[in-house]
Amino acid sequence: MSREDRMRIVLLSSLQPTGFGAVASALGGAAGERHGDTVLLDLTRAAVHPCLACGRCNHTGRCILRDEMTEILPEIASCDLLVLATPIAFGVHDPVMKRAVDRFLPLAGERFAIRHGEMHHAPRHSKRFDLLGIGRLEASVAPEEGETFERLIGRHAVNLACSRHATVLLQEDVQVKRTVRDGLARLGVEP
Amino acid sequence: MNVVLFVGSPRTPSNTRSMAAFLRARLEERAIQPVVLDAKRATIEETDVTRSVDAIRDADVLVLMGPVYLDLPPHLMLAWMHAIWEQREALSDTAPAVYAISHSGYFEPIHKALSLEAFEHFARRMGWTWHGALAFGGTSPIDGKALEEAGPFSAKVRPALTRLADLIVEGSSIPSHLARAASRRPIPLPKRWIVRLMNAYLRRAAKRVASS
């Protein structure tokens, strides 16, 4: 496969460093650095400001904040696969991941349109990427929270106008590689 | 009765704050002085957590109120919930009844559904009693105004919050018919017409932003 044909992957992870490293490794990249066409961002170490909800990006497509999230948004808009790896808290992203996800707002276009029979912002980017959600579910947490997380990734896929989506749940770190590969397989991606 | 309202919006002006002010007034009419927890910024700091724990320790009722960004409460609100979860031992003798309110510019209830699920998971993990939720759609044109001045865009919100004040006093859960009525679109027009109206609103907002 030529470089041009290689899949462009963006991984955003709020898992603790060992989990981030394991997911990055399973995706074929080296944790903590840009590796070929894989962009990896460890959100537990990155400088990401919370969204101010100023609404300017809605009109301009650009965020007024300048940080690592600003730099990675164009990578997301042009990627083939976006991977969100997070501990599950109350059935959804942990606050560290949500801080980054709130900053996705510039990806949405200014105007509303009807998509999937629902009102949505039309996407600003023309490229359609796949979405893989990886949620770490603590053993003590009710399984219903995992079900909520699966629905969340499905909703993100609609909101971000993704082509396809899949969700996998990590129960223990030792299963990371197999679980990630299972998720990739569901999207028809060969790791 | 001790009632705590948590306002989880990083925005100014804020529709969440408009709703909190309206609910506060209805509670005060019923001789309840609620404590309003409002960070008024995009981040939660240690002092916010300390104040929240002190307020919740004495609370009979906690009302979580916030907007929806990408199907979920904003970072600010999840960070606050996480911080309260971290303080669960300090709150082990407390079990407030929890109500929640989510709102967004999208009028379909599905956009708010996961936000409400997150609130319910939070309440259950804390061991608190879940008393249900209200979800309001099409709220963007309220634009931080007092609900009384927001015309048809707050027409579903005002009666629902007034009824919520009664339910809080009674200690009752939100009945499904009230939740359904609250979630109906504020203007009974076909979706395509609403999209056109919202796009017209956005064009006006864009001009305002450009001139500011």
CATH entry 3.40.50.360 includes domain A3-186 = yes
Sequence letter at residue B178: L
With a CB cutoff of 8 Å and minimum separation 6, the contacts of B106 are A118, A119, A120, B68, B112, B137, B138
With a CB cutoff of 8 Å and minimum separation 6, the contacts of B145 are B13, B18
Contact predicate B7/B37, CB 8 Å: yes
- Position A191 scores a pLDDT of 63
Chain B CA closest to residue A60: B206
- Position A2 scores a pLDDT of 46
Average pLDDT over chain A reads: 89
Give the one of A94, A145, A159 whose C-beta lies nearest to B71's C-beta.
Answer: A159
In this prediction the ipTM stands at 0.92
pLDDT greater than 80 at residue A103:
yes
Measured from the Cβ of residue B149, the count of other Cβ atoms closer than 10 Å reads 10
Whole-structure pTM value: 0.93
Domain of B30 in residue numbering reads as 3-211
User: Domain total for chain B?
Assistant: 1
Nearest in space to A104 (alpha carbons), one of A63, A161, A43: A63
Residues from chain B contacting residue A141 (CB–CB below 8 Å): 125
pLDDT in tens, A151-160: 999 999 999 9
Q: Which of A33-42, A72-81, A95-104, B81-90 has the lowest mean pLDDT?
A: A33-42
Low-confidence ranges of chain B (pLDDT < 70): 212
Q: Tell me the CA distances in angstroms from B52 to B37, B91, B116, one per residue in order.
A: 7, 11, 21
Calculate helix-pair angle for B157-170, B15-29, nearest 10 degrees: 50
The CATH number linked to B95 is: 3.40.50.360
Residue A87, preceding peptide bond in cis (omega within 30° of 0): no
pLDDT greater than 60 at residue A33:
no
Cα gap B194→B196, rounded to integer Å = 5
Residues from chain B contacting residue A50 (CB–CB below 8 Å): 10, 42-43, 74-76
- Position A174 scores a pLDDT of 65
Give the one of A53, A56, A92 whose C-beta lies nearest to B11's C-beta.
Answer: A53
Could you tell me the residue ranges of all domains in chain A?
3-186
